Amino acid sequence: MSRLRAEGLYKIFGRRADDALDRLRAGESRDDVRGGSTVPAVIDVSFEVAEGEIFVVMGLSGSGKSTLLRMLNGLLDATAGAVYIDDRDLTTLPARELRDVRARRISMVFQHFALFPHRTVLENAGYGLSVQGVPAAERDRRAREALALVGLAGWEESAPGELSGGMQQRVGLARALATDADILLMDESFSALDPLIRREMQDQLLELQEKLHKTIVFITHDLNEAMRLGDRIAVMRDGRVVQIGTAEDILTDPANDYVASFVADVDRTRVLTAGSIMEDSRATVTSGEGPRVAMRTMREAQTTAAFVVDTRENGRRLLGAVTDAAVTEAARVGERTVRPDPGLDVVTVTPQTPVAELFAPSAESRLPLAVVDEGMRLVGVVPRVSLLAALGNAAGGSGEADGGTLGVTDTGSVKMLVPAGPGEKLVPVGPGEKLLPTGADGVGGSGAAAVDAAGVRIPAPAAESVVERVGAEGEVRDDA
Model pLDDT, residue 271:
84
What CA–CA distance (Å, rounded) separates 122 from 152? Answer: 10
Mean pLDDT confidence for 83-94: 93
Cα torsion 236, 242, 246, 247: sign: negative
Strands 378-382, 369-372: pairing is antiparallel
Contact 458, 304 (CB under 8 A): yes
**Which residues touch 33 (CB under 8 Å, ≥6 apart)?**
20, 23, 24, 40
What CA–CA distance (Å, rounded) separates 352 from 219? Answer: 24
- Indicate the average pLDDT of the chain: 81
Contact 210, 186 (CB under 8 A): no
**Residue range 210-240, pLDDT digits in tens:** 988 999 999 999 888 999 999 999 999 999 9
Q: How many CA atoms lie within 13 A of 47 on its CB side?
A: 23
pLDDT-based confidence at 394, cuts 50/70/90?
Answer: low
**Which residues touch 205 (CB under 8 Å, ≥6 apart)?**
173, 216, 229
What backbone phi and psi angles, to 5 degrees, belong to 433?
-80, 155
What CA–CA distance (Å, rounded) separates 190 from 184? Answer: 14
Q: Taking 60 as the threshold, does the pLDDT of residue 428 lie above it?
A: no
Mean pLDDT confidence for 107-121: 87
**Residue range 299-350, pLDDT digits in tens:** 998 888 999 999 877 778 999 999 999 999 989 998 889 989 988 889 999 9
Model pLDDT, residue 403:
33
Model pLDDT, residue 224:
87
Model pLDDT, residue 480:
30
In this prediction the pTM is 0.71
Biggest CA–CA distance in the chain, Å, is 90
Model pLDDT, residue 311:
83
Q: Taking 80 as the threshold, does the pLDDT of residue 439 lie above it?
A: no
Model pLDDT, residue 404:
31
Mean pLDDT confidence for 415-438: 41
What CA–CA distance (Å, rounded) separates 345 from 279? Answer: 20
Which among 47, 59, 63 has a CA at the least distance from the CA of 11?
63
Domains, the chain, in order of start with CATH, read: 2-105+181-266 (3.40.50.300), 275-382 (3.10.580.10), 390-469 (no CATH)
Q: Taking 50 as the threshold, does the pLDDT of residue 267 lie above it?
A: yes
Model pLDDT, residue 395:
55
**DSSP H or E run through 206:** helix 195-212
Q: How many CA atoms lie within 13 A of 342 on its CB side?
A: 0
Cα separations (Å) of 301 from 71, 94, 132, 294, 455? 57, 68, 66, 11, 12
Model pLDDT, residue 266:
81
**Which residues touch 269 (CB under 8 Å, ≥6 apart)?**
354, 355, 356, 390, 391, 394
Q: Collapsing DSSP states into helix, strand and coil, what is residue 170? A: helix
Cα separations (Å) of 416 from 383, 388, 437, 441? 13, 11, 10, 20
pLDDT-based confidence at 84, cuts 50/70/90?
Answer: very high
Model pLDDT, residue 36:
76
**Which residues touch 441 (CB under 8 Å, ≥6 apart)?**
none
Q: What's the first-to-final CA gap in the chain, in angstroms?
A: 57
Q: Taking 90 as the threshold, does the pLDDT of residue 76 lie above it?
A: yes
DSSP per-residue letters across 345-387: ---EE-TTSBGGGTHHHHHH-SSPEEEE-TT-BEEEEE-HHHH
